[in-house]
């Protein structure tokens, strides 16, 4: 104002100065009131009054009528023209100063911190200077003070400088969003990294630098230098972030080797173009260590459970095995009862261990799903027979309702499916009172051409489940109504395992239950279709119950020689006669038989017809020709697989005393022996046990999983030839597997040695028929007859095909035996 030559301009400068002073004063009021803990209303009121007063001051004191401006030679000054406006101005200043003094006194009294008191002291000082600097201007009303406004200006500048300095040291200006963000950025205990759009590191906070070992200046560091990344990965990460997806990565620091969780996002500008990339890095090293420790502990636990279960299983197997022997061999009812109790307890223990083992496998993610081709028939058979005893004991009706259109062969994990059904069935039997009924319903729905949803429902009319318990049904170790179910064995693991198994098979399980009325568990499991032809009715199969064959005589002093080139046939014969206690001897060829016949006296001889080198007829001729032989008169029975009408006549004409068709039926064999052995050697059993029809239908002999796994065989026939003794049947099959005739048949075929080829085909026909492999037996028969009828072209055409069929059968048998 003073240096302005233009009076008009000087006036404008003066108004600007006045506004500045008023703003300064109002700011001071705002600052100090905000530092005091006034209520919001009080704070607004004080500030509003100050603002209104300041506005009036500008309007009234800033009016051109207040002073008259005069231009001297080198400066501009003024003389007062309206004293009232001055009085208003000074009154305003004094009130404001008083208010400030009062407010600051209150503040000084309440302030806890030294910096607050310092600020107040500086505020006093600055205001005092401001007030003092106005003195020349005030007295100018009375005395003319040259350059009075200059004092005022200088005073205000000093006051402003002092107050600004104080406020700065008080950090009043520091409290801004930016400064706080900066502070947070550098002190945050989370790593923050900012990359520019050229993918160069631009900013990194202290924590990030320490965490990632960044000792260089952040600029120009690339992502690949910070984290262990494969080439191409950084670019992909930036691109994904640019697409607007914030992704969490688990990375390892290149320098510090720490495991870090990195949240990678892109900050967009207003045009939706990338501005920068923000990486939030959290140190996971500790978490990682804890996870690894927990995993190791879990692993150790699973290993321990697995080892201990295995260790427990072995003695249990011995206990059950021994117990079984007691049950079989003991005649004392009391001891048999004890043994049965041991059997029940050990079965419970074994199932408990299996549950625990499965549970631990599921928990550690080690339960493997192994898909194979199977027939649902096998599974139903197994499950049905597994629980038939239990259900019968509780007088429950156990039925199977299977949709006959279910595809014949499916692919899936047969073992786990069986486990699911048996867990549900076991619960149904356990939680259904005596006389109740249980139904296993098997249905399906087509998903696509090659896959179906297998719908397995286990329905019971048992105790049912309360509504409140339903949501917890599939949780681990959950058992309900313990007081009511006290007598029922259980761990609360069955349904949890079932639920997990169904999930592992990509299916789902649901339950409908009405308390007191019963429950329905439905498992829906997708399966691949291998053979879509319908399975047909399966009811007769699973309910076919048979009693073991019991021998009708014993002959412990009788000696019988059986002669056959096939070991399996010899085994079958001696196995079938085991219970008769006859002394069995055997020979694998005609020559060996003749040697034995010259040395030992036998009461009966079974002689196979078709043998290589020396066939049965030749052996018999030589025996009968050797008048000195001790067995010259011993009855000889021909064993043949030649079921040709009229063959009997031929055999009898050749000098055989009788003949038996192979595969030999146990009852025919025994009748034949009784017929030809001297009666003094034979003790006929008065009433063999378990042979009457009535009894056999009550006897709930189980169709075992082994028999069910032989779905490709006519097990009915096979078992019959094995005297309905499953163990014996198994043994015969084992011998059948071991006597793989493919190499010898192949060799005979290559050499075009048709006579031997015929003998081998003949024996394959017989042995296959014995185990119930009807198709292969028929195919072998065709080959045998082709040789007989000189149809070599048929053999050439079909040899390979039959060998493949034979190979497949052997593979399936091996699998069944391994599973048994």
- CA 152 centroid distance within chain: 85
DSSP-derived letter for residue 472 is G
Q: Does the protein bind ligand ADP through residue 461 (CB under 6 A)?
A: no
378 versus 519: smaller Cβ distance to ligand ADP: 519
Residue 512 near residue 467, CB atoms below 8 Å? no
Among 77, 427, 527, 551, binds ligand ADP (CB under 6 A): 427
Q: What span, in angstroms and rounded, lies between the C-alpha atoms of 56 and 10?
A: 21
Residues in region 688-727 near ligand ADP by CB under 6 A = none
Question: What length is written for the chain?
Answer: 820
Q: Does the protein bind ligand ADP through residue 162 (CB under 6 A)?
A: no
Among 465, 505, 673, 722, binds ligand ADP (CB under 6 A): 465
- The residues pairing with 593 across neighbouring beta strands, listed in sequence order, are none
Smallest distance, Å, CB 496 to ligand ADP? 6
Smallest distance, Å, CB 414 to ligand ADP? 21
471 versus 679: smaller Cβ distance to ligand ADP: 471
- The residues pairing with 459 across neighbouring beta strands, listed in sequence order, are 439, 520
Residues in region 483-502 near ligand ADP by CB under 6 A = 485, 490-496
Residue 710 near residue 816, CB atoms below 8 Å? yes
Q: Where are the alpha helices (DSSP H) in 36-133?
A: 40-61, 83-110, 114-133
Which listed range, 115-123, 198-206, 318-326, 460-468, lies at the site for ligand ADP (CB under 6 A)?
460-468
SS3 808: helix
Residues in region 255-314 near ligand ADP by CB under 6 A = none
Among 452, 463, 587, 759, binds ligand ADP (CB under 6 A): 463
104 versus 520: smaller Cβ distance to ligand ADP: 520
Smallest distance, Å, CB 512 to ligand ADP? 11
CA angle 170, 174, 177 (to 5 degrees): 150
* 249 exposure class (CB count in 10 Å sphere: 0-12, 13-18, 19+): middle
433 versus 678: smaller Cβ distance to ligand ADP: 433
Structure tokens at 505: 């098979």
365 versus 516: smaller Cβ distance to ligand ADP: 516
Structure tokens at 409: 């062969």
Smallest distance, Å, CB 389 to ligand ADP? 18
Which listed range, 7-15, 230-238, 439-447, 459-467, lies at the site for ligand ADP (CB under 6 A)?
459-467
495 versus 636: smaller Cβ distance to ligand ADP: 495
181 versus 489: smaller Cβ distance to ligand ADP: 489
Q: What span, in angstroms and rounded, lies between the C-alpha atoms of 690 and 346?
A: 27
Among 48, 348, 372, 478, binds ligand ADP (CB under 6 A): 478
SS3 729: helix
384 versus 431: smaller Cβ distance to ligand ADP: 431
Structure tokens at 420: 């699911």
Q: What span, in angstroms and rounded, lies between the C-alpha atoms of 636 and 560?
A: 10
Smallest distance, Å, CB 304 to ligand ADP? 22
Q: What span, in angstroms and rounded, lies between the C-alpha atoms of 191 and 657?
A: 100
Helix axes 774-788, 792-819, angle to 10 degrees: 150
In this structure, the number of other CB atoms found within 10 A of the CB of residue 653 comes to 8
Residues in region 665-684 near ligand ADP by CB under 6 A = none
Residues in region 512-531 near ligand ADP by CB under 6 A = 519
What phi and psi, each to the nearest 5 degrees, are found at residue 72?
A: -90, -170
Of 599, 700, 664, 651, which Cα lies nearest the Cα of 395?
700
The DSSP code sequence of 148-187 is HHHHHHHHHHHHHHHHHHHHHHHTTTT-SHHHHHHHHHHH
| Maximum separation of any 2 CA atoms in the chain, in Å | 176
289 versus 484: smaller Cβ distance to ligand ADP: 484
Q: Does the protein bind ligand ADP through residue 62 (CB under 6 A)?
A: no
Residue 286 near residue 206, CB atoms below 8 Å? no
Q: Does the protein bind ligand ADP through residue 457 (CB under 6 A)?
A: no
- The residues pairing with 509 across neighbouring beta strands, listed in sequence order, are 523
Smallest distance, Å, CB 742 to ligand ADP? 48
Among 201, 428, 509, 525, binds ligand ADP (CB under 6 A): 428
The strand pair at 583-587 and 559-563 is best described as parallel
SS3 490: coil
Q: Does the protein bind ligand ADP through residue 437 (CB under 6 A)?
A: no
Q: What span, in angstroms and rounded, lies between the C-alpha atoms of 189 and 622?
A: 104
Q: Does the protein bind ligand ADP through residue 479 (CB under 6 A)?
A: yes
496 versus 777: smaller Cβ distance to ligand ADP: 496
Residues in the interface with ligand ADP (CB under 6 A) total: 22
The strand pair at 636-640 and 658-661 is best described as parallel
The strand pair at 201-204 and 451-460 is best described as unpaired
478 versus 697: smaller Cβ distance to ligand ADP: 478
SS3 554: strand
Smallest distance, Å, CB 509 to ligand ADP? 12
302 versus 519: smaller Cβ distance to ligand ADP: 519
Smallest distance, Å, CB 317 to ligand ADP? 22
Q: Does the protein bind ligand ADP through residue 421 (CB under 6 A)?
A: no
412 versus 494: smaller Cβ distance to ligand ADP: 494
Residue 770 near residue 739, CB atoms below 8 Å? no
Looking up tokens 């009121």, which residue turns up? 45
Residue 32, CA distances (Å) to 35, 57, 114, 117 in order: 5, 21, 15, 12
Radius of gyration of the chain, Cα coordinates, nearest whole angstrom: 52
CA angle 502, 504, 506 (to 5 degrees): 75
Smallest distance, Å, CB 391 to ligand ADP? 13
Smallest distance, Å, CB 474 to ligand ADP? 8
Which listed range, 312-320, 424-432, 546-554, 783-791, lies at the site for ligand ADP (CB under 6 A)?
424-432
479 versus 624: smaller Cβ distance to ligand ADP: 479
Smallest distance, Å, CB 420 to ligand ADP? 12
Three-state SS letters, 690-721: CCCHHHHHHCCCCCCHHHHHCCCCCHHHHHHH
Which listed range, 49-57, 144-152, 223-231, 472-480, lies at the site for ligand ADP (CB under 6 A)?
472-480
438 versus 597: smaller Cβ distance to ligand ADP: 438
Among 137, 358, 414, 460, binds ligand ADP (CB under 6 A): 460
433 versus 655: smaller Cβ distance to ligand ADP: 433
Q: Does the protein bind ligand ADP through residue 757 (CB under 6 A)?
A: no
474 versus 757: smaller Cβ distance to ligand ADP: 474
Among 462, 507, 635, 718, binds ligand ADP (CB under 6 A): 462
Smallest distance, Å, CB 462 to ligand ADP? 5
Interface residue list for ligand ADP (CB under 6 A): 427-428, 431, 460, 462-465, 473, 478-481, 485, 490-496, 519
């Amino acid at each position: 104002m003073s240096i302005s030559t233009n009076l008009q301009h000087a006036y404008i400068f003066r108004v600007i100065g006045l506004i500045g002073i008023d703003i300064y004063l109002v700011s001071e009021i705002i600052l100090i009131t905000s530092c005091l803990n006034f209520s919001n209303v009080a704070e607004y009121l004080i500030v509003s009054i100050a603002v209104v007063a300041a506005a009036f001051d500008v309007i009234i004191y800033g009016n051109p009528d207040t002073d008259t401006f005069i231009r001297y030679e080198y400066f501009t000054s003024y003389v007062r023209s309206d004293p009232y406006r001055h009085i208003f101005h000074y009154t305003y200043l004094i009130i404001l100063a008083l208010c400030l003094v009062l407010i600051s006194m209150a503040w000084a009294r309440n302030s806890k911190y030294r910096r607050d008191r310092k600020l107040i002291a500086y505020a006093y000082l600055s205001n005092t200077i401001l007030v003092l600097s106005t003195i020349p201007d005030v007295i100018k009303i009375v005395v003319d003070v040259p350059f009075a406004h200059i004092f005022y200006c200088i005073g205000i500048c000093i006051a402003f400088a002092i107050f600004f300095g104080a406020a700065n040291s008080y950090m009043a200006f520091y409290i801004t969003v930016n400064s706080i963000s900066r502070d947070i950025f550098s002190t945050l205990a989370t790593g923050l990294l900012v990359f520019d759009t050229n993918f160069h590191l631009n900013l990194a906070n202290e924590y990030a630098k320490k965490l990632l070992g960044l000792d260089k200046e952040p600029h120009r560091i690339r992502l690949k230098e910070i984290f262990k990344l494969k080439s191409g990965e950084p670019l992909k990460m930036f691109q994904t972030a640019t697409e607007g997806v914030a992704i969490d990565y688990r990375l390892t620091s290149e320098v510090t080797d720490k495991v870090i969780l990195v949240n990678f996002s892109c900050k967009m500008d207003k045009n939706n173009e990338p501005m920068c990339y923000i990486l939030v890095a959290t140190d996971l090293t500790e978490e990682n260590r804890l996870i690894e420790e927990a995993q190791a502990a879990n692993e150790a636990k699973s290993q321990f459970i697995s080892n201990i279960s295995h260790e427990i299983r072995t003695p249990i197997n011995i206990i059950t095995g021994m117990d079984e022997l007691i049950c079989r061999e003991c005649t004392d009812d009391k001891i048999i009862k004890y043994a049965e109790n041991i059997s029940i307890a050990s079965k419970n223990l074994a199932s408990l261990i299996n549950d625990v083992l499965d549970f631990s496998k599921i928990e550690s993610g080690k339960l493997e799903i192994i898909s194979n081709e199977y027939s649902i028939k096998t599974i139903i058979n197994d499950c049905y027979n597994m629980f038939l005893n239990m259900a019968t004991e509780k007088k429950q009706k156990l039925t199977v309702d299977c949709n006959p259109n279910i595809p014949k062969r499916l692919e899936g994990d047969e073992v786990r499916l069986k486990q699911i059904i048996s867990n549900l069935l076991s619960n149904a039997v356990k939680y259904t009172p005596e006389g109740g009924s249980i139904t296993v319903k098997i249905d399906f729905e087509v998903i696509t051409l090659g896959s179906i949803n297998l719908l397995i429902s286990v329905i019971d009319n048992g105790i049912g489940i309360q509504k409140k318990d339903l949501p917890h049904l599939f949780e681990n170790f959950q058992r309900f109504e313990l007081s009511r179910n006290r007598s029922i064995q259980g761990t609360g693991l069955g349904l949890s395992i079932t639920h997990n198994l169904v999930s592992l098979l990509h299916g789902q399980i649901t339950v409908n239950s009405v308390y007191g009325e019963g429950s329905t568990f439905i498992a829906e499991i997708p399966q691949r279709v291998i053979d879509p032809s319908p399975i047909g009715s399966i009811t007769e199969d699973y309910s076919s119950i048979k009693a073991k064959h019991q021998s009708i005589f014993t002959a412990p002093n009788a000696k019988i020689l059986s002669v056959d080139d096939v070991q399996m046939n010899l085994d079958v014969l001696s196995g079938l006669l085991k219970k008769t206690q006859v002394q069995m001897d055997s020979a694998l060829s005609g020559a060996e038989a003749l040697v034995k016949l010259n040395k030992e006296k036998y009461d009966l001889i079974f002689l196979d017809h078709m043998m290589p080198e020396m066939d049965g007829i030749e052996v018999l001729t030589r025996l009968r020709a050797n008048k000195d032989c001790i067995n010259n008169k011993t009855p000889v029975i021909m064993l043949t697989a030649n079921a040709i009408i009229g063959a009997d006549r031929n055999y009898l004409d050749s000098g055989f005393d009788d003949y038996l068709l192979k595969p030999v039926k146990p009852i025919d064999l025994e009748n034949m022996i009784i017929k030809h052995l001297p009666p003094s050697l034979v003790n006929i059993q008065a009433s063999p046990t378990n042979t009457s029809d009535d009894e056999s239908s009550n006897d709930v002999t189980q169709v075992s999983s082994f028999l069910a796994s032989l779905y490709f065989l006519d097990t009915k026939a096979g078992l019959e030839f094995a005297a309905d003794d499953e163990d014996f049947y198994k043994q015969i099959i084992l011998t059948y597997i071991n006597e793989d005739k493919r190499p010898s048949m192949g060799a005979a075929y290559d050499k075009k040695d048709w006579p031997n080829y015929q003998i081998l085909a003949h024996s394959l026909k017989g042995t296959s028929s014995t185990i119930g492999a009807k198709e292969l037996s028929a195919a072998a028969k065709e080959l045998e007859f082709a040789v007989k009828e000189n149809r070599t072209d048929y053999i050439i055409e079909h040899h390979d095909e039959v060998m493949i069929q034979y190979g497949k059968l052997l593979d399936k048998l091996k699998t069944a035996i391994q599973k048994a």
